[in-house]
Chains A and B, each alone.
Chain A
Amino acid sequence: MSWGSWSEFIAMGGYGVYVWSAFVMCAVALALEAWLLALRRRNIVDYLRIGARQD
């Protein structure tokens, strides 16, 4: 598949809103999960660090 131009690529044959909202939601959701997981890890690690210092 070769696209004539950037704007043609973005337009997706008139279905741009549908195609990009599907792909962007996937990217956002997966990134959000990874970020929330990093926060969860930081929480428990910080808690253990404080505990370890008090030993």
Chain B
Amino acid sequence: MPMSISACLRYAAPQAFYALAGRLVPWFAAAAAAAAAAGLYVAFFVAPTDAQQGEVYRIIFVHVPAAWMSMFIYVVMAFWAAVGLAFNTRLSFMLAHALAPTGALFAFLALWTGAIWGKPTWGAWWVWDARLTSELILLFLYLGYVALNASIDDPRRGDRACALLALAGAVNVPVIYHSVQWSPMLHQSASMLMALAFWMYSIAMALARVRCVILEREQESAWAGAEFRGALQARPA
């Protein structure tokens, strides 16, 4: 087996991934902060006023990245759910659990900012078209996933039930994607920088959350206790 694959497999063990994630979180958080600072600067001080919409169009600099992240996180979550079902790897399910709340947050923000942008631009907070409705369904899928996970006491059964829900719901993502008219305006640097900020933020949150999930799941294990026994000098065996 090549070195790189065996190195990756080593991190499939929750204990090893716990330590790796702990080292990565500050870097992704710092990258998110830097990208957000640059993105907000460009969004408010570089990007010109839109000829048709005036200043209100600046909402798209958070709206579009939030909508994009809500879909992207779902795809990644469904991917880990599928890996978990196929290979029965505990860490895969834990990663899916760690992604769901952040995905729900971005789905909520996409709807919230979309409504606020839509009112002055199109004259309505909400319309029941394919795009908005499928994004709302995406939010409900995330919330359903979180609720389902919380309602099943046996973690292994919860893992499988959630994974099935995640996979069944994945059919919704192409519906959203194809119901949106992706305007070339979205490729402005402010949108790109804010998307990068949200992306880095999501990774930082997912890694920080998966560390909590790992500790909660492994709380009876020797290593989890030893992690907080002060120094890691284990007692004599």
A residues neighboring B (CB under 8 Å): 1-3, 9, 12-15, 18-19, 21-23, 25-26, 29-30, 33-34, 37, 40-41, 44-45, 47-49, 51-52, 55
Contacts and interface: CB of A to CB of B under 8 A. Distances in A.
A51 B230 CA distance: 12
A15 B120 contact: yes
A9 B228 CA distance: 49
Contact of B105 (A9, A19, A22, A29): A29
Contacts, number: 93
Contacts of A21: 116
Given A33-B101, A33-B102, A12 B215 contact: no
Nearest to B227: A48
A25 B109 CA distance: 8
Given A13-B55, A55-B229, 13 more contacts: A15-B56, A18-B56, A18-B120, A25-B112, A25-B113, A26-B62, A33-B102, A33-B205, A40-B212, A41-B211, A41-B215, A48-B219, A52-B230
Contacts of B219: 44, 47-48, 51
